[in-house]
Amino acid sequence: MEMMKNQLDSTEDSTEHLSATIQDRDLDVWTKHQCSVSCDGLCNAAEPVKCGGWAMMTRAVVAQPDKCGFKCHLLEKYLRCGQYNWPINCLISEWSGWPKCTAECEGGLKSHTRATSG
């Protein structure tokens, strides 16, 4: 009977967890690494994802999650880069808005654009 009482009092293996004590994975800011190409002067403006290179972005784990904490955080991703050989002193528009990501977690894609003249 005493053993049963101790099991009922224990919350160590419980599926309940107080939300104030949950530790999610905490991450540092994204760091962009060098592009795999300097520029692609032959890039077709109508199909920018078919040319240029890739730049890896990484972020470090600041705090590990506990067993109830959120773990689904991407630690590295890749961005398109070096697609255009930009003219010197050109005029560049503001960035377009960001669309919804293609995935809820782990590796979706988003892109936005801006125009040049000059």
Q: What does the pLDDT look like over 78-95, one tens digit per residue?
A: 988 887 766 666 677 888
Rounded Cα distance, 76 and 56, in Å: 7
Give the count of beta carbons closer than 10 Å to the beta carbon of residue 75.
14
Of the candidates 61, 41, 64, the one whose C-alpha atom is nearest the C-alpha of residue 52 is 41
Rounded Cα distance, 101 and 118, in Å: 32
Q: What is the DSSP letter of 51?
A: S
pTM across the whole model: 0.50
Residue 13 phi/psi, 5-degree rounding, is -100, 15
| 20-29, 52-61, 65-74, 93-102: which is most confident | 52-61
Question: What is the tens place of the pLDDT at every residue in 3-12?
Answer: 444 444 444 5
Rounded Cα distance, 62 and 74, in Å: 13
